[in-house]
Amino acid sequence: MLSLLLACEDTKTTENENQQNSLTRKQDSVLSRNIKYPEQEIKLSLKAEAVVEKWMIYVAMESEIKRMKAYSLNDVITNAPSILRVSDSLLKTVPKAFRIKPIESRIKVLHTKVSVLNQLAKKQHIDYDKLFKTANEVPVDFYNLNIQLNEAFIEMPNLNL
């Protein structure tokens, strides 16, 4: 009778270990999934580039975004706090030439998205689908900021008739 109980206990332990190993393999597979980086990067115009060269925090943010090309979800989790710190600084150091509503709004959208990314990455029980979706949106929001930076230097034709 005792040997029968021990045999049943060993079977339960083996089943639990198999389930745990299966969950670990699934999680590893999800964590190694690369984010979908935008196919087309939005480059800055020469005029916007000239102003941005002196805005070191923008350069740091651009570097963080470009590094995301090779990020897996695990890399996103690891680097989310760093991306948030750069985003915080970006929000606080906007050059005078870019202190206009459309650009400030785009910076706030980017900062909000990065904040959400960081919150999702810090959760004890991570929702990997939400994290993946948000990580995919961060580079898009950065390139939307680049569009606004370029538009700050578009000269409108004088249509005085």
In a domain, 138, yes or no: yes
Average pLDDT of 105-132?
A: 97
pLDDT of 111 strictly over 50: yes
Q: Contact, 152 vs 100, CB < 8 A?
A: yes
38 or 12, greater pLDDT: 38
73-92 vs 2-31: helix axis angle to the nearest 10?
Answer: 50
In a domain, 2, yes or no: no
| Residue 52, phi-psi category: left (phi > 0), alpha (psi -120 to 50), beta (remainder) | alpha
- For 14-37, how does the pLDDT look when each residue is reduced to its tens digit (9 = 90+)? 655 555 554 455 566 778 899 899
Q: Which amino acid is at 116?
A: V
Number of domains in the chain: 1
Cα torsion angle, 10, 12, 13, 18, sign: positive
25 or 51, greater pLDDT: 51
In a domain, 117, yes or no: yes
pTM of the model: 0.81
Taking all residues of the chain, what is their mean pLDDT, rounded to a whole number? 87
Q: How far apart are CA 11 and CA 82, in angstroms?
A: 45
Q: Which amino acid is at 155?
A: E
In a domain, 159, yes or no: no
pLDDT of 5 strictly over 50: no
In a domain, 38, yes or no: no
pLDDT for position 122? 96
- For 72-87, how does the pLDDT look when each residue is reduced to its tens digit (9 = 90+)? 999 999 999 999 999 9
In a domain, 9, yes or no: no
pLDDT-derived band at 148, boundaries 50, 70, 90 = very high
In a domain, 15, yes or no: no
- What is the DSSP secondary-structure string of 102-118? HHHHHHHHHHHHHHHHH
CATH number for the domain including 127? 1.20.120
In a domain, 54, yes or no: yes
73-92 vs 101-122: helix axis angle to the nearest 10?
Answer: 140
Q: In DSSP terms, which residues pair with 34 in a beta bridge?
A: 72
pLDDT of 133 strictly over 90: yes
Q: Which domain holds residue 128?
A: 44-151
Q: How far apart are CA 20 and CA 18, in angstroms?
A: 5
pLDDT for position 2? 47
pLDDT for position 6? 47
